[in-house]
Copies of this chain bind each other. A is one copy, B any other.
Amino acid sequence: MSRRRIMHMITPTDSVSPFDVNMAVDAGYEVIVPHCGVGESSVADFVQDAIFSRPPKSASTTGMFIGGGDVNRASEMLEIAKNAMVPPFEVSVLADPNGAFTTSAALVAVIEKCLSEHASASLKGSNLKIFGGGPVGLSTAVLAKECGASVSLIRLTASADDGALSEFTARFGVDIDSRRAVEQPERIAEAADAQVIVTTAKAGIQVLGQEALDQASGLLIAADVNAVPPTGIEGVEVMHNGDDVVCKWGSFKSIGALGIGRVKYKTQLELLKSMLASEDSLVLGLSDAYTEAARHA
């Protein structure tokens, strides 16, 4: 008799995301149990509670999902969970706080493919500017850096600090430039020499307008992750998926949220399915999400 497939969804916050619940169910998990308020101090006990109540080699039937909204906390919890396993007593774990790991993985994979197909270029050596330093911005910065891009993270508010960035880049052993561009002239100047622009601001905030684009004469690709218009870049639309957007000096390729979302969805689904297919424990984080996303871009 095969055991029923259980997904324990843990988060240091007060609620799990219905998005992640639905994905886990559609991947094949049969029982979904949310556990809120589980953080770094309790995750090890939590893992050991989960592993010792099922036989060895139960990773394919017992999964854990680490959510929340903080890429550093989720990464730390993933690391603690990994170290708490007592082989062969193991579960599989996926971290994807606020969907940021799979979203940024999809974003970078789609950009890489678009560069290759339309500009015979690649992220390697490209000048990438990321506007907005939330969970998706941070994750995108690290992945793009690992792809060899020259990455700058552009903060959009005066109050933004680099604590989360420093911690996150240290975790991956990379170094990323961070600057601030609160006013339009600064943003225009930042965009001017970019080959790839990514905006990850909150819904409804236009980060870059026509003037900025008209001066970014080396721009190959501009991408935005907001599913609800207006997007963060003038002319970039939600449905765009490598569409041409014309500006003063020529045109660039535009990528909107729906194309990214399709790859993000597929990435998350396949990561979850891989957990269900593996008798051995899989512990999946940002880098694994990118490996998977590259298959679906």
Contacts and interface: CB of A to CB of B under 8 A. Distances in A.
A23 B53 contact: yes
Given A21-B6, A26-B3, A50-B22, A15 B36 contact: yes
> How many copies of the shown chain assemble into the complex?
3
Contacts of A53: 18-20, 22-23, 26, 265
Interface stretch (A27-35, A122-130, A177-185): A27-35
A183 B232 CA distance: 63
Interface string A222-235: 00000100000000
Contacts of A3: 25-26
A287 to B, nearest CB: 23
Interface residues of A, number: 36
A35 B34 contact: yes
Contacts of A23: 53
Interface in A1-59: 3-4, 6, 8, 14-23, 25-26, 30-38, 42, 46, 49-50, 52-54
A58 B56 CA distance: 34
A32 B36 CA distance: 15
Interface in A190-212: none
15 contacts: A3-B25, A6-B25, A8-B18, A15-B36, A15-B37, A16-B35, A18-B49, A22-B50, A22-B62, A25-B31, A26-B53, A26-B54, A30-B31, A33-B34, A34-B35
Interface of A: 3-4, 6, 8, 14-23, 25-26, 30-38, 42, 46, 49-50, 52-54, 62, 227, 261, 265
